[in-house]
Structure 1
């Protein structure tokens, strides 16, 4: 047997030989596979696998992360499929599991992301490249300095309804590693928040993610107005208006090789004593 390891759900993944026809249904892990030197063995991706540029023009697109075209996966005759517990549905994982060995990642922390990279290196025969990548990512995060000021940040991922990130999420782990206090740390996973609830959390910064919802400067203007016109939480003082910033969602939530770029980006977001704003 070539490889026999548990995935991050504890399911054993057994491969009789080196996989030559891999399908990835997880965009960040698709990019990881490419950076591990596996482009020639990657046969299927989702339409959201946008990195590296042009990849979806060269590979068979089998659908999205939540809805796949089953016939396309069957036609590709994969010998390894990569899924994620959060990004793909249980039905998709079940279908894939009946087609080929299916590795399911489950990532809420940097440490789990590094474990996943090691696993994929083992499964694909690229463990030396994976180990090198892990060392480089780990070293990069060690350079991340603590902020000069404590700052409470609220991170928004969706609109209509507004949704944030709480404990038990990878984005929360990135916020904490950057030295921010997560304004929504009292919630778990992805809570829905109206403007009144946001104001009660008293964030000093509101980060509007570029994905999955593509927030823009117009959304910042809308939220600022909503904060300004909402009933005050204090009978004497007006609502405190936080700083609003559109941030790169990929650098907060992609847990593959893109993590090499994350620490420098997180550092750039930290407030400094000399700054009144970001």
Structure 2
């Protein structure tokens, strides 16, 4: 965009990105989409994924450009964004590389609480909303000072079934588990290991958490887990509170404090 003031920065993957002022934005990640709206960027957001559901009253007005791991490139090209915002884990490498050939793409890479805080302020800087981003960051930090530690139980956190997949170490969800004072039995395994029923039973968890996303575990799934781990407590939990690393973290502490795990 010749003649339009721009800034050159680096994303969380270390890639250089040149971004024009007041960019027209496509967001490829639900939690970051919510953050962008909370930064006051409604007028600049032109496209989101079909999984971007918050804030519901605003995202429904935006053009859907496919899913987080399957982009509709024709729709993206039709929108001609000035900036695309994605995430290393939630999006797919081939799709991001194809987008980089045409557009500035800023990628987050988040495994820790500090990564999330850095991402929030970085997005504020590149979108001209730094003061609001710092305010959001401060509210999150202040909130987590009030986080109550849970009873230190041995836990498995499930995100999928058939195959059964749990959250391992070096993940943002594991970071939340640790902050709650729980011990993740899969922390020493892969980031998202598959477990057989025998492996689940052998780990002898005190607590099994069934996430509401990405697989929508419901109460009807509890009996199956109870049959293999009869002494474990089984709970359905709000996956957004454990895995959304944007402004949703403002609400997370209140949710965690009332869980009483």
Using structure 2 for the length normalisation, give the TM-score: 0.95
Residue 127 of structure 2 is aligned to residue 124 of structure 1: yes
State the Cα distance separating 1:77 from its structure 2 match.
0.8
Matched with 1:9 is 13
Alignment of 1:13-24 (within 5 A): 13-15=17-19, 17-24=20-27
State the Cα distance separating 1:223 from its structure 2 match.
1.5
Higher CA-based Rg: 1
Matched with 1:237 is none
Distance of 1:131 and 1:56 partners within structure 2: 23
Q: Secondary structure at the match of 2:174?
A: helix
The runs of 5 or more residues in structure 2 that have no matched partner are: none
Distance of 1:12 and 1:225 partners within structure 2: 51
Alignment of 1:38-53 (within 5 A): 38-53=41-56
Partner deviation per Cα, 1:104-161 (whole Å, 9 max, x = no partner): 10100111001111110011000000001000001111111333x3211110000001
The runs of 5 or more residues in structure 1 that have no matched partner are: 229-240, 272-278
State the Cα distance separating 1:35 from its structure 2 match.
0.1
Using structure 1 for the length normalisation, give the TM-score: 0.89
State the Cα distance separating 1:259 from its structure 2 match.
0.6
Q: Alignment length, in residue pairs?
A: 257
Q: Secondary structure at the match of 2:33?
A: helix
Distance of 1:57 and 1:6 partners within structure 2: 31
Distance of 1:146 and 1:208 partners within structure 2: 20
2:60 to 57, 61, 71: 57
Partner deviation per Cα, 1:144-198 (whole Å, 9 max, x = no partner): 1333x32111100000010001111100000001111112122120000112111
Structure 1 outlier segments of 4+, above 6 Å: none
Distance of 1:150 and 1:225 partners within structure 2: 23
Measured on the aligned residues, the alpha-carbon RMSD in Å equals: 1.2
Distance of 1:137 and 1:55 partners within structure 2: 23
Instruction: Report if the CA contact (8 A) 1:49-1:55 is conserved.
Output: no
Alignment of 1:1-278 (within 5 A): 2-15=6-19, 17-147=20-150, 149-228=151-230, 241-271=231-261
Higher mean displacement: 170-179 or 190-199: 190-199
